[in-house]
Amino acid sequence: MKMCIVKSLVLMVFVSSAVVAKAYSNKFEIQWNNARQLILKNNVSDAITILKKLQSNKQQLSKVNIDINQIHLTLGRAYYQLGKMAEALTQYNLVEKSSDFWPEAVEEKAWAYVVMKKEDKALAQLETLMTPIFDQVIGPEPYFLKALIHLRICDYYGVLKTTEHFKKRYITRIQKLQDLVKVKGLTPETKVLIEMATKGQLNLDFITKNLVSFPYMFHRDVNLQGYFDKLPKVKDQAKVASNMANRIAIRLKFLAKRNLKEIEKNLNLIHVIEAEVIQRVHIAGHPDKKYRNELSFKGSQWMSFPISNDEIWVDEIDKFHVQVKSCPTKNERKSWASK
């Protein structure tokens, strides 16, 4: 069951790679491209107008390989950029659980709730992403955000539990990414992937089981999609096929290096949060016991639902509810305990 859920997040991208690289000849594709460009230029209102028109043409979009879930996600980001969090949440909630974009929608909902100062709802979203089935399909930022929220509510136990969780999950991924860079993208897993792609037989079970060996969301990379699409067509042309395989390895190395930079950035931020926790705990214990007891040292425990190696209760995903206690305000603490 776990494998099926994660597989569904990568299936759509691989099976449709043949049409991803085609030119934006269709009017919907042109509109979609224009909307994204407008957002990059901070012309968000005009982008929203285009995106809502696209959203109303759901049936036609499926015929031109535009994912309606990506439209929902992009609209959510546009509203977020305008500071309209309620509208952003409405769009994020439209992204289907079976979509490759659903984990991102959940993460961005958490950010929206943080902006709205609804830490309990933000933590509920992040607890969903922390379930084991999403180990290899989320980036490092959700861990940073979760630790930051626990810090904001003075849940220091939650901070340290989250950072420990991050380090345990990422130690293998970091090693795999470093290996990928070291051997210029040609790890044993990459060689198997290229061999399967050459035969036109990409095995999703293999990909799902070995996601930790590849860059985060590598299957979404447009360049790689193009290479995987072309490789079977040139398999009888040795030099061309070899060149294409080399391009795949180089691209994977590039993506691995980018992943490592992202991990390093978030790890540095997590270290800052850990240092802040240590400082606050030290201050709380000195010099006045009265204020020491006003800070929370235990916080929340990990939330869980029935899980085994063979079974995941899919209906429970995205059903978390978290309650948090208020963090002492500056007025409730002495000046030395304020930050």
For 77-126, list the strands marked E by DSSP: none
Give 207's pLDDT tier (boundaries 50, 70, 90).
Answer: confident
| Res 21: pLDDT | 37
| 97 secondary structure, DSSP code | T
pLDDT band at 82 (very low <50, low <70, confident <90, very high): very high
Given pLDDT bands bounded at 50, 70 and 90, which one contains residue 148? very high
Q: Are 228 and 201 in contact (CB under 8 A)?
A: no
**How confident is the prediction for the chain on average, in pLDDT?**
79
What percentage of residues in the chain have a pLDDT greater than 90? 38
Domain extents for the chain? 2-337
pLDDT above 90 for 248:
yes
Higher pLDDT among residues 302 and 280, named by residue:
280
Beta bridge partners of 307: 312
Neighbours of 139 (CB within 10 A): 18
Using alpha carbons only, give the angle 145, 151, 156 rounded to the nearest 5 degrees: 120
Encode pLDDT of 66-79 as tens digits. 889 999 999 999 99
Q: Give the residue among 128, 136, 133 at the shortest CA–CA distance from 145.
A: 128
Q: How far is CA 278 from CA 297, 328, 330, in A?
A: 11, 17, 18
Q: For position 205, what pLDDT does the model report?
A: 80
Instruction: Tell me the pLDDT band of 209, cut-offs 50, 70 and 90.
Output: confident
Across the strands, what pairs with 312? 307
Give the C-alpha distances (Å, rounded to integers) separating 71 from 3, 33, 36, 59, 80. 27, 11, 10, 13, 14
Name the CATH architecture for the domain at 2-337: Alpha Horseshoe (1.25)
Work out the pLDDT band at 298, boundaries 50, 70, 90.
very low
Give me the torsion for CA of 119, 125, 127, 132, rounded to 10°: -160
Q: What is the DSSP letter of 94?
A: T
Q: What is the pLDDT of residue 144?
A: 94
Contacts (Cβ under 8 Å, ≥6 apart) of 60 = 28
Q: Which of 165, 161, 259 is nearest to 211 (CA)?
A: 259
- Taking only the tens place, the pLDDT of each residue in 13-57 is 454 444 443 444 478 888 888 888 888 888 999 999 999 998 888
248 contacts: CB under 8 Å, gap ≥ 6: 185, 190, 193, 194, 197, 224, 227, 228, 231
Amino acid at 272: V
* pTM check: above 0.85: no
Residue 307 has what DSSP assignment? B
Residue 261: the pLDDT is 94
User: What pLDDT is recorded for position 332?
Assistant: 37
